[in-house]
Amino acid sequence: MLSGRRLDLLDPSPVDIEIEDIAHGLARVARWNGQTIGEHGFSVAQHSMVVEELVAHIQPAVDPKWRLAALLHDASEYVIGDMISPFKAALGVSYKDFEERLEHAIHARFGLPAKTPATIKKLIKQADRACAFFEATQLAGFGHDEALAIFGAPPAGYRLTIEPQAPSEAQKRYVHRFHVLSEAAGFEPVQAAFDTE
């Protein structure tokens, strides 16, 4: 990692995980395998920030720690990339186990329970699918009806106009949002491994 950490992918340790590495990686991983319109790809970092915002829109009283979990819901992709769902399914259980081990280490690093409660996972998945609806129709060439059939309708009252950000901007905003949510959740601030300015 750019922080100097050496992360063992088969046995990831929480002490080798830094938010700056996560933000750097996610800001450079494109959703839809980069098959989107615009000068910049829509990064997993930016997607994660929208999902966190959607979680709060759907359930305004949700605990800040679960908003943090929503922000980190795709954090494992900072090292394994964003594989499209059909490919994940084709890889089978071993991929899911690998992804889960990394997610548990990330959660441990930042003070979250290793396993997210089922109700929160469902909420995050709902927000994730809503974000995918907006991405599909605004960036990936899907028609409204096609996206509706695949992802379902986004929550009432939520509007989003997507403007993909440059990686440096998405990275900076992701780190900032992480610190805001960590503080709101009462978690200790994480020391930066390197300067992101």
Alpha carbon distance 153, 173 (integer Å)? 27
DSSP state, residue 196: -
Whether 192 shows a pLDDT value over 50: the answer reads: no
Residue 129 DSSP SS3 = helix
- Whole-model pTM above 0.75? yes
Domains with residue ranges and CATH for the chain: 14-185 (1.10.3210.10)
Q: Residue 33 carries which side chain, given as an amino acid letter? A: N
Residue 12 DSSP SS3 = coil
- Residue 102 contacts residue 9 (beta carbons within 8 Å): yes
Residues 6+ away with beta carbon under 8 Å from 95: 83, 88
Strand partners, 12: none
How big is the chain by its Cα radius of gyration, in Å? 16
Whether 182 shows a pLDDT value over 50: the answer reads: yes
Whether 136 shows a pLDDT value over 90: the answer reads: yes
pLDDT the model gives residue 86: 65
Alpha carbon distance 147, 135 (integer Å)? 9
| pLDDT (average), residues 67-93 | 81
| Mean pLDDT value across the chain | 90
Q: Residue 156 carries which side chain, given as an amino acid letter? A: A
- Residue 151 contacts residue 85 (beta carbons within 8 Å): no
Q: Which two tokens stand for residue 182?
A: 């960590």
Alpha carbon distance 91, 80 (integer Å)? 13
